[in-house]
Structure formats: C-alpha cells, structure tokens
DNA sequence: CAGTTATTTTAGTTTCATCTAAAGTATTGC
DNA sequence: GCAATACTTTAGATGAAACTAAAATAACTG
C-alpha cells in the first residue's frame, strides 16, 4: 500500500477523482473509461489509471484483450466517504452554484488596504 | 469557505501540511513558522500561508508588527482527524520508515514483463 | 522623520504533473 | 502468420505551482 501522502495527492487531482467516480460501483474497461472522458487521449487515461493502481486506490484485472478497473473504496476509508459526498450531495452542488454565482456577480471588492490595526 | 476540491489540493502539499502541523495547536507568527522550515525563504512561507488562509484552513490575526497564524481544524472536519493520525500515529511512522528503507535498499526489481494472462 | 523589524508582494525562474502523438505489446480471429 | 483491437509506454511539449531574490509595505523605536 502506498503512503497516505500519495493517497492525498491522488485524490487531489480532479481527473483522477473523475475516474474514481466512474469505477466506484462498477468495473469498467480502460476503453469505457476513456469514452467517458473524451477531452483527453487514451494514453492520458491509461497513465492516470496506472497511478491510481500504484497508490492502491484502484484494482485491475485482465480479461482477454480488455483491462477492467474498479475502485477499492476500502483503501480510502474516510476519504472515500468524503468523495461520495462530493459526488452526490445535492446540498454541496447548490453551495458550489451559489459560490460561482457570487464570483460572477461583479468585481471583487478592491483589494487596496491591509488589515487595519493590531 | 473554499470548495472541497480546494481543500484537498491544499492538504495534498507536504509543505502546507507541515505548516498546518506547526499551527495546529498553537498560534505562531509567520517568522516562527519560517524558522521551523529553514530550507525555504520567508517569501515562500508567506505565499503558502496566504493560500492556506484563502482556503479557510488557517486563521490569521495581526498584532503590532507580527502576524499570528493558527489552523482551523473545524474547517477540515474528517480530513483533520486524518492529518492528526498522519502526524502522531507511531504505527504510521514505522510503516513510513519501512517504506523508505525498502526504496533505499537497491534498485527496484526490473520492470520487464506485463501481467501474464487473462 | 529616519531606521529597524516583520511580513507581503512582485517578477522572473525552476520544477513537476499532465498531456499528446506515436511507437510498442498482448490477445484474438481469420 | 497477419491484421485488427485494446491497451500501455515513451519521449517530448506545455502549463501550473512553488520557489527565489528583491522591492514594497506597515508598525514600532528613538
């Protein structure tokens, strides 16, 4: 098993989180995973899969020409719960929307002065 | 509050984790934090502090010429618990040692063949 | 106000992760 | 064995994050 630090680094990447989400509840082939992320090449997906496997977050199994991948939620423990929330917590989605809305709505208050006094 | 993704990114960095550890239980000035990390410049530390404040993981307070920083563990929730473990779990320290030892001990087994069959 | 201390900010550089394109490997079907 | 499919690996390009050195700011001190 890879270090905790490596696990943190792994799930810090949005791309890898996306892959984890895809294979969280089901086994998918590398090809299927790639089809779900058409903005990158197959090679890129393959590299991310490799890194996920190396950190122990994903399991791989070869079957004929295909390679099947599936997440190992038990390797993530509490972090897994956190990711699940990130994925399907409607509340969170709403919060994010509000946040974006806020940043869209006009320029940030001008950052002129420092904190005034001690 | 910053997004979950931002929090993950923040704690994925060893440097920022180190800072968090330092200010986890006590308030420290920027200078004190820098002294504890002599391998980087003051400027570098200041930048990381800024990013930690912006993600909401650290609180800052000005007092005369100094700026005091302290972690906001409540902003991390479960992740905070995880970091605490990472810092003071003896078992974990041992695991890490073993890991390092292993990588020190000679070249990795040559990566020649693929997985044999499906 | 000039000088010192504490810290931040800027501008430029280095380092590192990720990506692409292309070549390589394994398995199947004719 | 040859072509096709499914995937991985390599080598090089690109961009973002982190760092450095130096300049800027702010608060206190005499």
Per-residue pLDDT of A65-101, as tens digits, reads 999 999 999 999 888 988 998 887 666 555 555 544 4
Q: What is the pTM of this model?
A: 0.77
Chain B residues whose beta carbon lies within 8 Å of the beta carbon of residue A92: 4
User: Does residue B53 sit at the A interface (CB-CB below 8 Å)?
Assistant: no
Transcribe chain B into DSSP letters: ---HHHHHHHHH-HHHHHHHHHTSSS-EEHHHHHHT-TTS-HHHHHHHHHHHHHTTSEEEEEETTEEEEEE-GGGTTHHHHHHHHHHH-HHHHHHHHHHHHHHHSSPPPP--------
pLDDT score recorded for residue B105: 41
pLDDT score recorded for residue B94: 56
What would the mean pLDDT of B39-66 be, rounded to a whole number? 96
* A92-98 own/partner pairs: CB under 8 Å, 24+ apart: A92/B4, A96/B3
Q: Of A3, A11, A12, A89, which to mutate for an interface test with B (greatest number of B Cβ within 10 Å)?
A: A12
H helices of A1-118, where? 4-12, 14-22, 30-35, 42-54, 78-88, 90-104
| pLDDT of A59 over the 60 cut | yes
Residue of A nearest to B10 (CA): A12
In angstroms, the separation between the Cα of residue B102 and the nearest Cα of chain A is 12
Write out the two tokens for B61.
Answer: 């307070």
Query: Mean pLDDT across chain A, nearest whole number?
Result: 81
Say how far apart CA B82 and CA B32 lie, in whole Å.
Answer: 25
Per DSSP, what are the bridge partners of residue B106?
none
């Amino acid at each position: 098993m890879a270090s905790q630090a490596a696990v943190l680094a792994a799930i810090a990447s949005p791309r890898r989180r996306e892959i984890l989400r895809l294979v969280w509840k089901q086994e998918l082939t590398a090809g299927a995973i790639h089809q779900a992320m058409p903005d990158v090449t197959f090679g890129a997906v393959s590299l991310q899969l490799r890194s996920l496997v190396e950190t122990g977050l994903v399991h791989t199994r070869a079957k004929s020409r295909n390679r099947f991948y599936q997440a190992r939620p038990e390797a993530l423990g509490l972090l897994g719960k956190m990711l699940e929330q990130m994925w399907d917590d409607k509340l969170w989605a709403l919060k994010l929307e509000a946040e974006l809305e806020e940043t869209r709505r006009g320029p940030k208050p001008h950052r002129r002065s420092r904190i005034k006094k001690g």
